[in-house]
Amino acid sequence: MLNFLLAFENLKFDATVLRHTLNFLWQGLLAIFVVIGLIILAVKITSLVINKCDEAKKKREVEKNDSQNKEA
């Protein structure tokens, strides 16, 4: 407890600790937003691919139906 009270008393400006932890702050926040950005990008691309595949599948089915109707 005494150490802590002394720490409060000596709460001047420890530039080394501040620099260290500020590095922590910007690197941590940058990293989390990079991860999130990549996940959003991957989700968007996957959604796009899935939608395109669905559309192509529907188109193929329509064409197949049309050709069957013509043959009939």
How far apart are alpha carbons 62 and 72 in whole angstroms?
15
Query: Of the candidates 45, 11, 33, 39, which has an alpha carbon nearest to the alpha carbon of residue 53?
Result: 45
Q: How far is the CB of 63 from another protein (least distance, A)?
A: 22
Kindly tell me which of 6 and 56 has the beta carbon lying closer to another protein.
6
What does the binding site for another protein look like in residue numbers (CB under 8 A)? 1, 3-8, 10-11, 14, 17-18, 20-25, 27-29, 31-36, 38-40, 42-44, 46-47, 50, 54
CA dihedral 18, 20, 25, 29 (to 10 degrees): 160
Kindly tell me which of 36 and 62 has the beta carbon lying closer to another protein.
36
